[in-house]
A and B are shown apart, each in its own frame.
Chain A
């Protein structure tokens, strides 16, 4: 599936407060269009790794190259720009803005990226099956619907890289399946996907599974 490397992580370590070692000299390359699951016990550093790949955080040591750009060399503003142009984020807690309806939540990402386009946002929501929920507020949406709105928001700016932290962690079986279908569609469309998950069913959909333990890679399969 991969034709070239999108993400190259070399000897990346992350210390919190100078002592807690969340990641310990990680080496990992992820190809363009590849789907990788990051798995492992709680506290093993999965979220930390995802934050570094998504440019939300910087490593304490090591090199992170995404799409040829050395993330460690970018300043705060450049990281922000990189994030908005390259990365689509999906969260376990959805993080929809509570006073904006579904459509506006998608448009928000467009607005921060460039300009809001209502028609495009509407199509994105239709694609995730929320065509009849455009004007619903987050509080009026079920967990599964909120997660699908979140996915529509993550995809609206055509990111090369889609990153998700426990996207099905708060969903029931039926909604989990709906959401995973969307990930499979993304995968077919050529998005590079990194998912952090506890769920083996979710993990096995990926091309590769990376198992973390105490901040190190235990195995890759």
Chain B
């Protein structure tokens, strides 16, 4: 019987319900598309920003080296402190979460044709992963202590007229080593002035085994802000962790601002749709005062009257929520297609989330009208007009 009462009363008021459902639909559409975009975009934007390399630099606790490899000048390299390679296993093992890539550096100065060049020992495989945007002409050298293959910056190549395949003799504080240029790297930064050898080679030549001067890290900001990750590094690794501002901050603030904007729009729409549901239901209660009075006169419990109006609210919420999902996912895909030129992978939790949100809006908006319906006094309403 309840089902009959509800369906018939819904049908009798379908025009009003359509309007309210439309409002909920709008909110649900926005919610669905924004959540889909937000989730999908984080993944997408994260992937896009990965191309920009490191967003954090680890330095020895004791030094005051300026952050970033770019700031390194000859005089600054001499430092008492170092990072013990042992600590890097913590990054390696995933014990510190959200680290996507990292590579250590040990710096030395060598002399070539009477001029000083900065020699950076690093792990080539890791560097490649960390900085996929490096343009290397020739080949990336292999890692390992014995390797003589190196990478030189484009400016070094220019200055000394060197090219891939050339051999060069570098003088390391007395020891001379002959090395082969496997590739020339064009980075567009101070790296172009450096020579890159394998970390093992650098450590061997400098006599500082097991030590590194700097670690570049790329951490994911999907789950927590960089500052939090940096703090964890500092407390676990005995390092100073510096967030590299340009990339990281941009990454964080852009995503944050987008999310904020999305949240704001969503909140506003949700409020507006709540108001629409509220006014529709209030109208429904006012229009049906006589009917409610009659039901109460017939001895209807408050709960049964409440259910009739809640059902109306839920019908609105469900219709709006489900349709909003479909429309919202479509909108999200269209936006993704135009912004990222690729479709987002479907975000499954969006559907129940949106429907639940739509139902919640409808229910909350219904509370006032339902209370009004329950408080109708049958005496007054049944009295002749």
Task: Please list the residues of chain A having a beta carbon within 8 angstroms of any beta carbon in chain B.
Answer: 47, 51, 54, 56-57, 77, 80-81, 83-85, 87, 89, 91-93, 95, 97-100, 104, 107-113, 115-116, 153, 166
Contact = CB atoms under 8 A, between A and B. Distances in A.
Contacts of B297: 54, 56, 83, 89, 95
Contact of B384 (A56, A83, A85, A93): A93
Contacts of B293: 95
Interface residues of B, number: 27
Contact of A104 (B8, B291, B304, B384): B8
Candidate in A57, A91, A112, A166 with the most chain B CB atoms within 10 angstroms: A112
B45 to A, nearest CB: 52
Interface string B294-319: 11111111101000000000000000
A108 B379 contact: no
B126 interface: no
A111 B1 contact: yes
Interface string B1-45: 110110011011000000000000000000000000000000000
B298 A100 contact: no
Given A47-B383, A56-B379, A97-B291, A111 B299 contact: no
Contacts of B11: 99
Contacts of A57: 379
A113 to B, nearest CB: 6
B73 interface: no
Contacts of B295: 108, 112
18 contacts: A56-B378, A81-B299, A87-B299, A89-B297, A92-B384, A93-B385, A95-B382, A97-B294, A99-B8, A99-B9, A104-B4, A107-B4, A108-B298, A111-B2, A112-B295, A112-B300, A112-B304, A115-B1
A100 B293 CA distance: 16
A95 B1 contact: no
Given A80-B301, A116-B1, A91 B382 contact: yes
A211 B316 CA distance: 52
A51 B295 CA distance: 15
Given A54-B297, A107-B4, 5 more contacts: A84-B299, A99-B8, A99-B12, A110-B1, A112-B299
Per CB-CB distance, the 7 closest pairs between chain A and chain B, nearest first, are: A84-B299, A99-B12, A116-B1, A111-B1, A112-B300, A95-B294, A83-B299
B290 interface: yes
Given A84-B299, A95-B290, A112-B300, A100 B2 contact: no
A77 B4 CA distance: 25
A50 to B, nearest CB: 10
A56 B301 contact: no
Nearest to B378: A56
B298 A112 contact: yes
Contacts of A47: 383
Interface string B362-385: 000000000000000011001111
Contacts of A109: 298
A15 B182 CA distance: 105
A89 B379 contact: no
Interface in B316-366: none
A14 B2 CA distance: 36
Nearest to B381: A95
Contacts of A166: 384
Contact of A84 (B290, B294, B298, B382): B298
